[in-house]
Amino acid sequence: MTNSTNNLLFFGVEIIDISLIMIIMGICLLLLLILVIVMMVNIRRMKRRIDSFTSGSNGKSLEQDIISIIEDNKFLRIQEEQNNTLIQELLKRQESCFQKMGLVKYDAFHQMGGQLSFSLCLLDENNNGFIINSVHSTEGCYSYTKEIKAGACSLDLGDEEAEALEIALSNM
């Protein structure tokens, strides 16, 4: 079987001319070559952008900047954890510190000692503390305290002491 027309035979049936297949393959090859050139141009452009992005002034690279930022970030996280721990400790300590105060000045003996007597109530966050009552007279000054637990006193309070306690309890 000789084929003088260069046709492709498949089980004795002529299908396509070989020169037509070669032309189609040449066109595909040309398209692929154009595609490769376009991709190379895009890659070169991208490489230039990356190079300009990663090179800083005075030869300092972006990589060094990123490493420095990461190290700073680690340091800041450690500092934040330490600060949070310290804040929690301070808040715990603050619960037992006197935070509320009530002060009432009065004249204990009605115009004999002036307004030099006072009741001072100091309470912590849980309304625990004390009342200092200082009574001033012409003979001297007498001071005493009464313990306050959960905003109440187990002893009877005078009017001024009760007022100082009420003022302290109203301070949030």
Q: What is the rounded CA–CA span in Å between residue 91 and residue 106? A: 35
Distances (CA, A) of 152 to 63, 78, 100, 162, 166: 65, 44, 14, 10, 10
Which segments of the chain have a pLDDT < 70? 1-16, 54-61, 111-114, 172
Domain range summary for the chain, segments of one domain joined by +: 1-54, 62-93, 100-170
Q: Which residues pair with 129 in a beta bridge?
A: 123, 148
- How many CA within 13 A on the CB side of residue 103? 5
Note the pLDDT of residue 109.
78
CA 36 to chain CA mean position, Å: 49
pTM of the model: 0.53
Note the pLDDT of residue 1.
45
Note the pLDDT of residue 71.
93
